[in-house]
Amino acid sequence: MGATVEQALEQLKSTGVRMTPQRYAILSYLMHSMTHPTADEIYKSLSPSFPSMSVATIYNNLRLFVEAGLIRELTYGDDSSRFDADLSEHYHAICRSCGTIVDFDYPPLTDVEAAASKETGFKVEGHRMEIYGICADCTTRHNH
């Protein structure tokens, strides 16, 4: 697991971003969540405590956190980005049935990057690798 909410707040302060109760709530929600939520899911969880907060506010703050390097955005080619406060190197397994995203550890595929660089002449900056399938919960549910 990565930094604590307090460490993240210090980092944010150093970039000149003012901390507000809403920002604190969004950031701590994300840092305690293992589900890689969308802006909409965060909105649904926090709106009872912050009735004046809109999805747009949440989204703008998430953008801010991404730019400050506090969280990662996971894009899937549509408008439903998911957000991950775990900045450690890890891969994701994604359920094609329910959409759940599960972390898994595996040594970074640096040999693949090296092979790609050798074959294409690219100066490789990174890669993206995801596992798709049906999660354990969905498999159980379908077998009943």
- Which does residue 97 touch among Mn ion, Zn ion, none (CB within 5 to 8 A, set by kind)? Zn ion
Cα 3 to Cα 23: distance, rounded to the nearest angstrom: 16
Cα 96 to Cα 71: distance, rounded to the nearest angstrom: 24
**Cβ closer to Mn ion: 53 or 85?**
85
Q: How far is the CB of 141 from Zn ion (least distance, A)?
A: 8
36 annotated as ligand-binding: no
**Does residue 73 bind Mn ion (CB under 5 A)?**
no
H or E, element range at 23: helix 21-32
Contact by Cβ (8 Å): 40, 82: no
- Which does residue 84 touch among Zn ion, Mn ion, none (CB within 5 to 8 A, set by kind)? Mn ion
Beta strands 101-104; 130-133: pairing state? unpaired
**Does residue 103 bind Mn ion (CB under 5 A)?**
yes
**Cβ closer to Zn ion: 20 or 140?**
140
Cα 136 to Cα 132: distance, rounded to the nearest angstrom: 12
Q: How far is the CB of 15 from Zn ion (least distance, A)?
A: 37
Secondary structure letter of residue 43 according to DSSP: H
Among 20-28, 53-61, 101-109, 132-140, the segment contacting Mn ion (CB under 5 A): 101-109
